[in-house]
Amino acid sequence: MGKARCSSFSARLQGTGFSNGGDINLDILQSLRQLWSFSSNDTLLAQLDLLTPATFDNQYYINLLSGEGLLPSEQVLMIEDEQTRAIVEAYVEDQFAFFEDFIYAMVRMGSVGPLAGNNGEIRWNCQIVN
């Protein structure tokens, strides 16, 4: 389902510690380093969830709680913010709560209209303002 470019999680490959998302499972770290070593450019993608990558479930949140989150930004947010950690723990405990919240979020995102005129812009490159 979700994937990330190696450059998005390369900080996690530098070892363990809070600056790169907190401690990481050594087996996961070794797998990521091996994947990174095969990447000669930034086109290689890694699964956000290595255990059930093609299944829509709550495994991603289980991974975060276990210190196996791929993206350092999400792992740190889960560690540093009590409110975020509570949400992660709720989704780990109750997969259906995650499903319900996901449905609600998708409906809300679907109702967001495009910005027009001086209220927004369509970027040629998402990372750079036109």
Annotated binding-site positions for Ca(2+): 49, 52, 57
Q: How far apart are alpha carbons 109 and 2 in whole angstroms?
A: 18
Binding residues: 49, 52, 57
DSSP of 14-29: G-SSGGGTS---HHHH
Token output for 105: 């979020």
Nearest CA to 29 out of 67, 85, 79 is that of 67
Q: How far apart are alpha carbons 48 and 42 in whole angstroms?
A: 16
Token output for 78: 């889960």
What is the CB neighbour count within 10 angstroms for residue 11?
Answer: 16
